[in-house]
Chains A and B, each alone.
Chain A
Amino acid sequence: MILAFRLLVLLLLAFVIMPAAVAIVAAFEPRPIIAFPPQGFSWRWFERALNYEDFRIGFAHSVFVAAIASTISIVIGSMAAYAMDRYSFRGKATLEALLLAPLAIPHFTIGLGALILAAQIGQSRGWPVVILAHVVLVLPFVLRSLYVSLKNIDPRLEQAALSLGAKPGRVIWTVTLPALAPGLAGGWLFAAILSFNEFTASLFVTSQRTQTLPVAMYNYVREYADPSMAAISALYILLTTILLVIANRFLGLGRILGTEDGRH
């Protein structure tokens, strides 16, 4: 019986991993076609992916957007999480629901909305609109991560600091923020990964001048059908995995995703 379950889990895992695995393996095809299994072994498509101008620029853009968007999200998210955790106010539940809502709103809706909004104020397809869309997309995750981290801070720590004569501002800087540091770092990294991988909303809000890596990849695949797509996918997975491992070090992913709420 247990054996059967194990087999089932293994099959399920294989099923989930299969598409990625197939893409990675296909990247080593020497011929300029995407084929599985590959007829040989070659690094040439990795070389092409790394040297291709649009990918290089797209990568730089993605890093730029991810860094700015997750930083903004962390700043907004930490303030909102603090307010939601420490104060009760009218409409608190509504605010909570609202901030967590984009989880249920399709990315293309957010992209489209941001685009319409930007056009209204004559800011069509510049960096601000790309960053805005990404902030809206990652904020719920950041918020949830920080909210849970805040909940896990012993309120007695802040009380002890206050009783020792520290004013509230000093307490936030010397006690709350340091205690929150792992949550901030983990939340930031997770936001960066989400932003880095974001495609749907980016497709709406980026232009030729601001296209991010996933959009560059999409544009590439519309014109070419060689395995450099597979190669860059493999690189993408590698990078994301490294970042996720780091994020997991700072604090469990379960906490970021809000599925678990244990201490430490």
Chain B
Amino acid sequence: MAATDALRLEGVTKRFGAVTALHEAWLKVQDGEFITLLGPSGCGKTTLLNLIAGFLEADAGEIFIGGKLVTTLPVWERDLGMVFQSYALFPHMDVARNVGYGLRARGVPKSEEASRVAEALGLVRLSAMADRRPKQLSGGQQQRVALARALVIRPRLLLLDEPFSALDRNLRTEMQLELKEIQRRLGVTTIFVTHDQGEAMSMSDRVAVMSEGRILQLDTPEVIYGRPAHPFVAGFIGDATVLPGRLIARDGAEARVEAAGLAFIVPAETLGGAAPGAAVSVYLRPEDLHPIVAGEGLEGIVVSRAYLGDRAELVVECGAAGRLMLRLPGQAAMARWPVGAALRVGFDGARPVAFPA
């Protein structure tokens, strides 16, 4: 018998009036996995999280947590830990009372509550703040209290709803690392919702990219970035230069396409039923492109550049191929290619993907 999934969704659908917020979501999450629901606002990721939490009721489909059917179970019986963007700490309780809330709701004895709260606060490095009120803490500290409050009940699932988007950038990175470490140490199955692809890529075991109420692709960050299964995924994750092209030939798992007078090998699986000669869109990553001195490539002129410290992004106008984006080491790019400079773009080692146009 297969191991029980920590979370399983079977065709979960949610409609708000005439709008379908979620179309038949299918999902299997293993014990201890860190899954991110990633997508722009309105893509259905928060709806999906609220369905898992039980704040919304599904119109169709079933939800299983730890093998147990919970579709119609109320929120308070689902055994969850949830962390919100707004922290949602109880303002009239000190930190220790906040963290102990779920234990008291479960009727855990006082002595055990005290020791488990102390342990949870130690986990998020806030032992010294137990007597403080939420208002006396910084945003990062408040979010760590919220995390401790969610973890202290040893939930079957940890749900995180854009927990870091209210924090400034440096603090956010720090909190991401801390959360990831705690999650790995405790092995708690985690569903994380964000619209920030960097956050999703750096923390997750697998990412579910969502758009318009559908999960378009669910896979590891490497596959999501390197082998996007859907044009939306290719465009949403990372930067891409899109060239119009033509399918030349299919050869098993691979296919040859032509774009801007150049030939590329792409995976065949994303081409659907496209036949040779069909129009395709070829998605190139900035790292697929580099400046070359000679050889096969495209001549272009640098039309803009952005210096980002460790790297620089150059936009190169290449005649009929249009504008290509290159990402280069910062110092070298600034010294060698000012705006207006000529640059020859090469595609050696490029691993583009193509979709039917």
| Residue positions of A touching B, CB distance < 8 A | 154, 156-157, 159-168, 170, 174-175, 178-179, 181
Contacts and interface: CB of A to CB of B under 8 A. Distances in A.
Interface string B74-107: 1111111110101011111000000001100110
B84 A160 contact: yes
A43 to B, nearest CB: 45
B105 A163 contact: no
A133 B151 CA distance: 52
Given A170-B105, A178-B92, A179-B91, A163 B75 contact: yes
A116 to B, nearest CB: 45
A166 B92 contact: no
A161 B100 CA distance: 11
Given A154-B88, A156-B88, A179-B91, A161 B82 contact: no
Nearest to A159: B55
- Residue of A159, A161, A163, A165 with most chain B CB atoms under a 10 A cut-off: A163
A165 B84 contact: no
Nearest to A164: B102
A179 B90 CA distance: 8
B86 A163 contact: no
B84 A156 contact: yes
B149 interface: yes
A163 B90 contact: no
B153 interface: yes
Contacts, number: 69
A136 B54 CA distance: 40
B92 A163 contact: no
B149 A164 contact: yes
17 contacts: A156-B88, A157-B90, A161-B90, A162-B55, A163-B53, A163-B75, A163-B78, A163-B150, A164-B150, A164-B153, A165-B106, A166-B105, A167-B105, A170-B105, A178-B92, A179-B90, A179-B91
By size class, the interface of chain B is: 20 to 34
A197 B90 CA distance: 37
Contacts of A178: 90, 92
A42 to B, nearest CB: 50
A165 B79 contact: yes
Given A154-B86, A156-B86, A162 B92 contact: no
Contact of A165 (B55, B76, B86): B76
Given A156-B84, A159-B84, A164 B55 contact: no
Contacts of B74: 162
Interface in B34-60: 53, 55
A177 to B, nearest CB: 10
Nearest to B53: A163
B151 to A, nearest CB: 11
Given A159-B82, A160-B90, A162-B55, 4 more contacts: A164-B82, A164-B102, A164-B150, A165-B102
Contact of A161 (B77, B80, B101, B106): B101
Contact of A159 (B77, B79, B88, B153): B88
Contacts of A181: 92
B90 A175 contact: yes
B237 to A, nearest CB: 29
Contact of A166 (B82, B88, B101, B159): B101
A154 B86 CA distance: 9
Contact of A164 (B86, B91, B92, B101): B101
A86 to B, nearest CB: 13
